[in-house]
Structure 1
Amino acid sequence: MSETIPVSVAPTDSPRSRRGIPLAIGGLTLLLSLWWSCADALSGRPRLAAEIGAVRTNLWKLAGASALSPGNTATDDAAPLYERAVETSPMDSEAWLGLATATERFSWINQRSSRALKMSYYTGAHLRSLMADRLLLMARIDSTNDPELRDMLASQTALILSRLPDLRPAIGRAYLAAGEANRRIIAQTTKAAGTDIQTLIRGN
């Protein structure tokens, strides 16, 4: 008859393993902090900062805005940077507006800019900080064959007229930048609100 040799099994929940958990968490926290700080330290090189802090939408937006800034010759880089921003945060209205602005000069070829502009509107129609710039871009893009864009232009204009009187000068600027079709929309909307478009233009 063979003899059975007892085998002892160490408990998995040993004091040593429990001590290792806080150390692992602390190490991970330190690494994340270093990663975050490294991206912030590169504010003078926005694209590199965005590539390091790859999941941080604000860094991609800053890089895109830098590419669009006056005097920058790398304006073609702005669109892919804003695309990364909307990929990381699809509900970020500012990122969509940046993408619409970056692709505006190709709007006569395709609908990329108007699609991004619509997303900016639907994800943040009431964001005060974006209204003036978005209205100006709405006015510049041809809406002749796009009833959805025409409705958005009228709605954004009406919202400013009814609730944000300090932004009314933006309507005058949008009117001056608009084509004939969009000028009619802006003029009709302001007239319906009891306002003379010429008054808004003179306000600029």
Structure 2
Amino acid sequence: MTIQIKICGLSTPETIAASADAGASHIGFNFYPPSPRSVAPELASELAAITPRSLLKVGVFVNPDDTLLNEAVRHGALDAIQLHGKETPARVQEVKASFGLPVWKVLSVETDEDIAAADAYSSVADLILFDTKTPKGALPGGMGMGFDWSLLDAFDKSIPWGLAGGLNSENVADAIRATGAPLVDTSSGVESAPGVKDVDRIAAFCKAALDHD
């Protein structure tokens, strides 16, 4: 299985180059201002201009309005939109129709009920990304927390999907083997501090994922 790898929350040319060199397939630009990984649309434009074609650019949003989406899509030359908030299936469908881009829906997982919620999105989202449910009041992602991967046993894996939540170079191979995830997504797992990506950790994560067999 050829694994796809998304390095999320990038904000520098060096980390984009490192992601490409290490074999990542996707990078994420975070457009959620409370996050330490957030980038302004103008910076996203500069970063998009130097991003190799081998990397697909995913914009990460939390309950965005159309104004923000329009500005970010335009500046970031995005290839996909990732919705990480409480967006309903109807909102996912609306965003997809309005912007003509693939839409990923993040589902925050703590119990089997959270996995079952994927059914409502399976016909409207282009990819379901399972992440860890963070504590109330915390940021919706990027906390370095994992969840019980065995909960995914109940998920219909014929639907395009990916795995996030506490993944790093030490556990990503185990995660792929345990879940069969076709795509893995990391952010804090390749950082030296919140919002500060480390090129060596990016390389190590990608190597571990690609060598998971």
TM-score by length of 1: 0.27
> Which structure has more helix as a fraction of its residues?
1
Greater relative contact order structure (CA < 8 Å, 6+ sep): 2
Structure exhibiting the larger radius of gyration computed from Cα positions: 1
